[in-house]
Amino acid sequence: MRRLIAALLGVAVLLAGCLKPNTLDPYANPGRKELDRRQKIVNDRPDLETVVQQLSDLNNAIDAAIAKYSPQTKFSSNKVGQATNGCDDPFNRSIGRQEKSDDYFGAPAPDPAQWQQIVTELAPVFKATGFKTEREYAAAQGHTIPPDVENDSQLRDDGARINLVGGINGGPMNYSYDTGCHLPAAWRTAPPPPNMRPGNDPDIHYPYLYGSPGGRTGEAFG
């Protein structure tokens, strides 16, 4: 009985507007105002194609640095499935796309001296394209990450990520990249292809907002 009363009170408070829609369930639809805020973040980011090209170029730079300083490291890869549309949380209800590279594994991993040479060579390359190490990024947000000499993973404000780990406890080194959520360039001037639009919102269009200037009317699923 107590559980029932507590549940009813929770619903009553929610209906009264004192709680956000996803306060009781963090995976619930957060409401149109919050969805518009997230969509504006995606809209303001560079086009997906621009980010894919940047990350592809960085992938080549990583390959070259590893070949130069750790020639004994040979790579294999695991294929990663690509969604045709949609993004990871918190943009899983936003209009956009996200692409991820294959996962690359290299063995034997660079020794500590080789790893330091690789990290040193790549540092200005990453910096020139707006990336910060996870540790730097956390510090800028007021957080601290314990030192990890084998981790040179990178983050960028537009959601792009490069995983670069030099081998842990004798394991292989690993790297991959993730674009984060972005709009394909064509989706700014025309709607997504029909098979990539929400089924309940066939007339969706840029800037994909519920509020002014509009572009979205159907409730977001997912």
Q: pLDDT per residue over 102-160, tens digit each?
A: 999 999 999 999 999 999 999 999 999 999 998 888 888 888 777 766 889 999 999 99
Average pLDDT, the chain: 86
Q: What is the mean pLDDT of the segment spanning 8-25?
A: 45
Task: Compute CA distances 146 → 46, 123, 140, 149, 201, whole Å.
Answer: 31, 19, 15, 10, 46
86 and 132 in a single domain? The answer is: yes
Is the residue at 108 inside a domain?
A: yes
Give the Cα separation of 174 and 193 in Å (integer). Answer: 35
58 and 76 in a single domain? The answer is: yes
- pTM comes to 0.83
| Listed residue (152, 151, 166) closest to 104, CA to CA | 166
**What's 175's domain CATH number?**
3.30.2030
Give the Cα separation of 179 and 48 in Å (integer). Answer: 7
| Listed residue (128, 28, 110, 47) closest to 74, CA to CA | 110
Task: Compute CA distances 18 → 10, 111, 196, 211, whole Å.
Answer: 10, 56, 35, 22
12 and 106 in a single domain? The answer is: no
130 and 190 in a single domain? The answer is: yes
Contacts of residue 10, Cβ cutoff 8 Å, sequence gap at least 6: 24
Q: pLDDT per residue over 41-74, tens digit each?
A: 999 999 999 999 999 999 999 999 999 999 999 9
16 and 67 in a single domain? The answer is: no
Contacts of residue 5, Cβ cutoff 8 Å, sequence gap at least 6: none
Q: How many domains does the structure of the chain reveal?
A: 2
11 and 49 in a single domain? The answer is: no
**CA quadruple 157, 161, 162, 164: dihedral, nearest 10:** 100
52 and 157 in a single domain? The answer is: yes
| CA 14 distance to own-chain centroid | 31
Give the Cα separation of 165 and 180 in Å (integer). Answer: 19
* Backbone dihedral angles phi then psi of residue 94, each to the nearest 5 degrees: -85, 160
Tell me if 110 sits within 8 A of 166, measured CB to CB.
yes
Residue-range definition of the domain harbouring residue 13:
1-30
